[in-house]
Amino acid sequence: MKITMSVIKADIGGFVGHSSVHPDLLENARGILAGSPLPIDFHVTHVGDDINLIITHEYGKNNGDIHQLAWDTFLSCTSLARKLKLYGAGQDLLADSFSGNVKGMGPGVAEMEFEERGSEPVIVFMADKTEPGAWNLPIYKMFADPFNTIGLVIDPKMHQGFLFEVRDLIDNKKVTFSCPEELYDMLVFIGAPGRYCIKSVYQKGTNEIAATSSTQRLNLMAGRYVGKDDPVLIVRCQSGFPAVGEALEPFANPHLVSGWMRGSHSGPLMPVPVNLSNPTRFDGPPRVVALGFQLCDGKLHGPQDFFADPSYDLARQKANEVANFMRSMGPFEPHRLHLDEMEYTTMPDVSKRLKNRFEKI
Ligand code: F6R
Ligand code: MG
Ligand code: MG
């Protein structure tokens, strides 16, 4: 049976500030999805201030009705957020009316369609206070690094490698790399995650979808700062794909990502369970949650809240140590992002005001 898994997310109001989602909004979203005949199943959750709708259905990717359902859910939650005077109510909904597809309208989307296997373990990763490129390093490790994924070496079903579709978010172009042969070429690009993002990964030979991410950059879409891009990622696991533990392993060693405080700082991506995904310190540090589901005829059995496991305690401790170190730099780069990457800046105003004070040397 062909199943589509759609993960659609938006920040439509924070509780308190930009730290989390009000429980009434999550309940409201559940009620709306439960009232629709379209989903086979759904799970509503949050990471930080983002609501995530995980929906399974049979209508394929970019389906107008499913996107409409997500849009209506976010709109309804927005009016509730306005009523409760939640912070930044409606911040990710860029348009006033729906035009058939939520892509480009604010919400983040990751969707994949596949024939459900005899057993179909899937992980949905969701992050807050960061950008889509934050997935580049972990996806690389899952699907291309034998030091992370031993299956690439000793599982005959993985040994041939994977195909990586990489998007250029600035020029709106895409390119596919075949790895391991083109690893070094690919790294030239994905090592610059502010611009190049891994959109999807496919199994070689079968062309089966293995992973897909959301790649919108809200700030580029709106041409001004309108909020974080807080990305999501779906990964299929086992039997020719990374084992569940190989997909989770990259997060045992927190890497630095962009998007902390005012979308203008770099910090470690801390793996946490849903109940700890409420960024506090300096509005962070950035968080990632991993929910595992076993699909059964499209039904979502789960979730397994993977980062609740004590084997991620040390990663959290390390993230705290790195966060301390980064914070000690205050307003200096590289804790503060490079000028082109900051989502807030007073540079034009201050430069204008001080223009006449700058003398030629
Ligand atoms: C938002 C975020 C926060 C805000 C910060 C300032 O996702 O990461 O760090 O950027 O709290 O928010 P405003 O400008 O709304 O006061
Ligand atoms: Mg917010
Ligand atoms: Mg957010």
- Name residue 7's beta-bridge partners: 54, 110
Task: Determine, yes or no, domain membership for 189.
Answer: yes
What is the pLDDT at residue 158? 97
Name the residue of 126, 228, 262 whose CB sits within 8 Å of the most ligand 1 atoms, as the mutation to test its pocket: 262
Between helix 183-190 and helix 136-144 the angle, nearest 10°, is 170
Q: Please report which confidence band the pLDDT of residue 215 belongs to, taking 50, 70 and 90 as the band edges.
A: confident
Average of per-residue pLDDT across 283-303:
98
Question: pLDDT tens digits for 92-132?
Answer: 877 766 767 787 678 899 999 999 999 999 999 999 999 99
Task: Determine, yes or no, domain membership for 79.
Answer: yes
Task: Determine, yes or no, domain membership for 352.
Answer: no
Give the number of the atom of ligand 1 that is nearest the alpha carbon of residue 260: 8
What is the pLDDT at residue 221? 67
Average of per-residue pLDDT across 198-203:
98
Q: Verify cis geometry, omega within 30 degrees of 0, for the bond prior to 16.
A: yes
Q: How many angstroms separate the alpha carbon of residue 193 from the centre of ligand 1?
A: 21
Q: Whose CA is nearest to atom 6 of ligand 1?
A: 262
Domain count, the chain: 1
pLDDT at 6 over 90: yes
Backbone angles phi, psi at 178, to 5 degrees: -100, 120
Average of per-residue pLDDT across 281-297:
98
103 lines ligand 1 (CB under 6 A): no
How far apart, in whole angstroms, are the C-alpha atoms of residue 131 and residue 120? 28
The three-class DSSP label of residue 177 is strand
Task: Determine, yes or no, domain membership for 350.
Answer: no
Q: In what order do the strands lie in the sheet with 41-47?
A: 41-47, 50-57, 2-10, 108-115
Average of per-residue pLDDT across 169-191:
96
Q: Please report which confidence band the pLDDT of residue 226 belongs to, taking 50, 70 and 90 as the band edges.
A: low
**Pairing of β 209-213 and β 232-236:** antiparallel
46 lines ligand 1 (CB under 6 A): no
Q: Please report which confidence band the pLDDT of residue 1 belongs to, taking 50, 70 and 90 as the band edges.
A: confident
What is the pLDDT at residue 219? 67
How far apart, in whole angstroms, are the C-alpha atoms of residue 292 and residue 306? 7
Name the residue of 18, 261, 269 whose CB sits within 8 Å of the most ligand 1 atoms, as the mutation to test its pocket: 18
**Is the model more confident about 217 or about 320?**
320
Task: Determine, yes or no, domain membership for 149.
Answer: yes
Give yes or no: 11 in active site.
yes
Structure tokens at 77: 């939650």
pTM: 0.96
Q: Please report which confidence band the pLDDT of residue 56 belongs to, taking 50, 70 and 90 as the band edges.
A: very high
Task: Determine, yes or no, domain membership for 175.
Answer: yes
Give the number of the atom of ligand 1 that is nearest the alpha carbon of residue 88: 15
Give the structural domain span for 6: 2-343
17 lines ligand 1 (CB under 6 A): yes
What is the pLDDT at residue 340? 82
Task: Determine, yes or no, domain membership for 349.
Answer: no
Q: Please report which confidence band the pLDDT of residue 216 belongs to, taking 50, 70 and 90 as the band edges.
A: confident
